[in-house]
């Protein structure tokens, strides 16, 4: 028995670790109420069993016996006629059992809605922690697996596992109390019933236990794989089309869906097995008890015993079925919440999240100008191939600084440190006198970042430029000014609905260069104090790049600009150039100064005709 429930208790403990203390208390209250309602079951069964015995006694004009007489006296109906006693017991027993069912339905509904709200809160908090994590945590798992963990996995964890666990308290309490009641009324029948249903329950458990967890894991993985294949096909549609690989992806999708449907059918069929077995056992049990009672006792005792068995079985069978299905549900759900538990474990182990939050409100020196890296060390936790060591830099305020160097030199890592996405292992980073996280939180619209790979959302031009804000926050003139900066205003004015034109999913109606310019417009919309550009002109033609570069250089004296660029034309007029290699600063100065210090850089400049 310990083996049966031990794993469930461990699963429940894991789930309770992410529930707040106040919610745990509420769950305890729900459990106590569920247990209390089980008392109504016991009382209802006792009354209906007494009704059966009283009916046989009345028909045979016999004394109902001491136990029945005491019950009649307890309800103060011992002086009533036989017919009145029977009617009162029938109405009372029925009301108790129906009332118990009704209150259970109401309580379960309240429990499920309570857990649904907690599920939403837990998902939101996990999502917040996830977005505050460093890149190696964010990108550790596929988007499909992470989304499953944050959404369906949390729903399963709260609504299904915690909800089922609390409901199991009620059903197990019913089984225990009814068994105790049977022991008092008729020990032989009680022992027979306990052995019968226990053997059946254990047999069903061991038969379906492994299958339930297996199919729960299969369903989870298949759901992730189906989403993954769909997104893969959607994002590579053109490649699939020109290579005529539609049949290949259709076949993969069909195979995954077939396996998923089979797994769903298997899980859905399991309750039918338990229901058939339990219903058959009640019928066979009644027949066996009837034969034994009519053989060993008189008809009065036999009918009374069968009445008690049927009355108890009427409540025992559904409770036992719910316990059986509850355990299977926990087993199935256990396979589905593994991605969620893994994500929670990753987020809890990531000490940098705590470090980022604790430093976010620290204000060091408001008089410090520009951006400072002071003896900064950083290495990625999962690799020893790269690290930044003892890096000291100063990006002067309202000037343009360029970061150059070969691939893997540390430019993107330095930008992540600058933006507070990563935290240094040693040393300090100051943005205008504050830590990166502190500055971003105190002045949330003062930093903008343009990635190399532009991300657009399904929506209008206005919604994409104002991404992350309600579009109404910015006036049309502010959005047009940003589009003009990005040399995109003329194109947008020719669109059918102007700023309110839909650009399609992932901006498919725009060219690569137009998408990148839209990303630039988004970055400049908030008039940032710090603008970070990561290969922001890589997809632009030479003429457009020249106009954008000129617009960026016009920010000199207004905005602190930090740019990563491989195209030397983009950095030629920067105020200062930092050349990085393998996480070390190799050279710094203006463009021509770095040429003289770094032969590789000079060679590139000569090839470009500079």
Tens-digit pLDDT profile for residues 223-238:
888 877 777 776 666 5
This prediction has a pTM of 0.64
Say if residue 219 is in the same domain as residue 135: yes
Q: Please give the tally of structural domains in the chain.
A: 3
* Structure token pair of residue 76: 């103060």
d(CA 181, CA 221) in angstroms, rounded, equals 46
Domain containing residue 510: CATH number: 3.40.50.300
Confidence of residue 351 (pLDDT cuts 50, 70, 90): very low
Say if residue 471 is in the same domain as residue 485: yes
Say if residue 13 is in the same domain as residue 42: yes
d(CA 481, CA 557) in angstroms, rounded, equals 19
Hey, what's the torsion of the CAs at 6, 7, 13, 15, to 10 degrees?
-150
* Structure token pair of residue 223: 């759901």
Mean pLDDT of 122-139: 77
Say if residue 237 is in the same domain as residue 102: yes
pLDDT tens-digit map of 132-185: 777 767 777 777 788 888 888 888 888 777 887 777 777 777 777 777 766 766
What percent of the chain is modeled with pLDDT above 90? 8
Say if residue 442 is in the same domain as residue 306: no
Say if residue 315 is in the same domain as residue 236: yes
Confidence of residue 373 (pLDDT cuts 50, 70, 90): very high
Confidence of residue 604 (pLDDT cuts 50, 70, 90): confident
Confidence of residue 350 (pLDDT cuts 50, 70, 90): low
- Full 3-state SS string of 401-454: EEEECCCCCCHHHHHHHHCCCCCCCEEEEEECCECHHHHHHHCCCCEEEECCCC
Say if residue 158 is in the same domain as residue 304: yes
For the ranges 1-15, 112-126, 342-356, 374-388, the one whose mean pLDDT is highest: 112-126
State residue 357's pLDDT score.
42
Domain containing residue 119: CATH number: 1.20.1560.10
Question: In the block, which residue shows the tokens 């943005």?
Answer: 431
Say if residue 433 is in the same domain as residue 510: no
Owning domain of residue 310? 2-349
Which candidate, 350, 370, 563, places its Cα nearest to that of 452? 563
For the ranges 237-246, 261-270, 391-400, 536-545, the one whose mean pLDDT is highest: 391-400
Confidence of residue 309 (pLDDT cuts 50, 70, 90): low
Say if residue 307 is in the same domain as residue 389: no
Where does a domain end: 500, 527, 554? 527
Confidence of residue 506 (pLDDT cuts 50, 70, 90): low
Mean pLDDT of 489-510: 82
Say if residue 273 is in the same domain as residue 190: yes
Say if residue 75 is in the same domain as residue 86: yes
Where does a domain end: 349, 367, 390? 349
Min mean pLDDT across 113-117, 194-198, 499-503 is at 194-198
Q: Pick the more confident residue, 49 or 79.
A: 79
State residue 493's pLDDT score.
92
pLDDT tens-digit map of 430-457: 998 888 888 888 887 888 888 877 778 7
d(CA 348, CA 368) in angstroms, rounded, equals 34
Average pLDDT of the residues of the chain: 77
Which candidate, 283, 372, 303, 419, places its Cα nearest to that of 64? 303
d(CA 429, CA 424) in angstroms, rounded, equals 8
In the sheet that holds 387-395, the strands lie side by side as 387-395, 371-379, 426-431
Say if residue 147 is in the same domain as residue 238: yes
Confidence of residue 560 (pLDDT cuts 50, 70, 90): very high
* Structure token pair of residue 492: 């947008």
Q: Is 575 left (phi over 0), alpha (psi -120 to 50) or beta?
A: alpha
Where does a domain end: 502, 527, 552? 527
């Amino acid at each position: 028995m310990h083996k049966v429930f031990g794993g469930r208790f461990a699963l429940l403990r894991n789930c309770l670790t992410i529930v707040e203390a106040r919610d745990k208390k509420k769950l305890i209250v729900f459990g106590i109420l569920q247990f209390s309602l089980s008392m109504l079951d016991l009382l209802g069964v006792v009354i209906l069993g007494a009704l059966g015995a009283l009916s046989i006694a009345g028909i045979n004009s016999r004394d109902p016996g001491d136990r029945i007489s005491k019950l009649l006296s307890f309800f103060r109906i011992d002086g009533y006629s036989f017919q009145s006693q029977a009617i009162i017991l029938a109405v009372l027993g029925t009301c108790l059992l129906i009332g118990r069912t009704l209150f259970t339905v109401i309580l379960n509904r309240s429990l499920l809605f309570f857990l649904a709200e907690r599920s939403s809160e837990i998902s939101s908090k996990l999502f917040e922690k996830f977005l505050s994590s460093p890149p190696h945590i964010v990108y550790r798992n596929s988007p499909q697996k992470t989304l499953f963990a944050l959404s369906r996995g949390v729903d399963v964890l709260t609504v299904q596992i915690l909800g089922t666990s609390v409901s199991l308290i009620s059903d197990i309490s019913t089984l225990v109390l009814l068994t105790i009641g049977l022991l008092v009324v008729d020990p032989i029948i009680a022992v027979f019933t306990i052995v019968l249903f226990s053997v059946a329950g254990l047999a069903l458990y061991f038969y379906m236990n492994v299958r339930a967890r297996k199919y729960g894991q299969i369903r989870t993985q298949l759901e992730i794989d189906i989403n993954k294949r769909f997104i893969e096909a959607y994002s590579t549609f053109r490649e699939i089309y020109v290579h005529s690989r539609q049949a290949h992806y259709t076949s993969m999708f069909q195979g995954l869906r077939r396996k998923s449907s089979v797994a769903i059918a298997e899980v859905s069929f399991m309750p039918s097995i338990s229901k058939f077995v339990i219903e058959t056992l009640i019928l066979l049990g009644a027949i066996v008890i009837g034969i034994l009672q009519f053989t060993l006792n008189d008809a009065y005792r036999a009918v009374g015993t069968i009445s008690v068995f049927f009355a108890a079985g009427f409540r025992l069978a559904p409770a036992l079925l719910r316990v059986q299905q509850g355990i299977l549900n926990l087993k199935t759900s256990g396979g589905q919440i593994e991605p969620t538990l893994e994500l929670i474990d990753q987020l809890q182990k990531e000490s940098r999240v705590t470090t980022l939050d604790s430093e976010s409100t620290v204000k060091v020196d408001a008089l410090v100008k520009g951006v400072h890296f002071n003896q900064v060390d950083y290495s990625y936790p999962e690799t020893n191939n790269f690290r930044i060591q003892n890096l000291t830099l100063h990006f002067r305020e309202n000037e343009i600084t360029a970061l150059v160097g070969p691939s893997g030199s540390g430019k993107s890592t330095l930008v992540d440190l600058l933006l507070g996405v990563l935290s240094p292992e040693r040393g300090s980073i100051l943005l205008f006198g504050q830590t990166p996280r502190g500055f971003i939180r105190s002045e949330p619209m003062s930093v903008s970042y343009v990635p190399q790979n532009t991300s657009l959302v399904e929506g209008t031009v206005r919604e994409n430029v104002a991404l992350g804000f309600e579009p109404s926050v910015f006036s049309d003139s502010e959005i047009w000014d940003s589009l003009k900066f990005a040399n995109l205003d003329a194109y947008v004015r020719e669109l059918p609905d102007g700023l309110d034109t839909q650009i399609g999913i992932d901006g498919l109606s725009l060219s690569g260069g137009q998408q990148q310019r839209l990303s630039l417009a988004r970055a400049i919309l908030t008039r940032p104090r710090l603008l970070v550009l990561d290969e922001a002109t890589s997809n632009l033609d030479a003429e457009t790049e020249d106009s954008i570069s000129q617009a960026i250089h016009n920010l000199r004296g207004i905005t602190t600009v930090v740019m990563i660029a491989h195209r030397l034309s983009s950095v030629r007029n920067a105020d200062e150039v930092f050349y990085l290699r393998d996480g070390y600063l190799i050279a710094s100065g203006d463009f021509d100064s770095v040429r003289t210090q770094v032969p590789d850089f000079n060679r590139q400049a000569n090839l470009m005709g500079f």
